[in-house]
Amino acid sequence: MSENEISRIIIGAAIEIHRYLGPGLLESVYQECLFYELIEEGLDVEREKYLPIKYKELSIDKGYRIDLLVEEKVVIELKTVDEILNIHEAQILTYLRLSNYKLGLLINFNEVLLKNGLHRYVNRL
């Protein structure tokens, strides 16, 4: 399954969750629900996956944590903020660059219309 096919499933699941629950809950609630929906779709999903960082000769085992990693291909970063800031975008772009994954989704559930909270980022896709 390609990154684009996976992202369509993820976005559909996120919209379903947002329609059912609406905005205003904790990020952890949306993460749990999205994890559930994606598992129900038959996808391989890892939650709060730690990835190492190498800096020169230094190796940091738990350098950063991805909210959800789907099918070892798509990084999902979840937010429940008033607005997506440049630092949020920089965060997911850094995750993609350091991990060599090609596609990342930044999903802000704190929107009246979820489509306004969906952001897609690519790394050499």
| pLDDT tens track for 23-82 | 999 999 999 999 999 999 999 999 999 888 888 999 898 888 999 999 999 999 999 999
Q: Select from 119, 88, 110 the least CA-distant residue to 25.
A: 110
Task: Provide the CATH topology of domain 3-122.
Answer: Trna Endonuclease; Chain: A, domain 1 (3.40.1350)
pLDDT > 90: percent of the chain: 83
C-alpha span between 12 and 15 (Å, rounded): 5
DSSP state of 9: H
Distance of CA 100 to the CA centre of its chain: 15
Q: Is the dihedral of CA 98, 99, 102, 103 positive or negative?
A: negative
pLDDT bracket for residue 12 (50, 70, 90):
very high
pLDDT bracket for residue 125 (50, 70, 90):
low
Q: What is the CA radius of gyration of the chain?
A: 14
Q: What is the mean pLDDT of residues 9-17?
A: 98
Q: Select from 25, 33, 24 the least CA-distant residue to 10.
A: 33
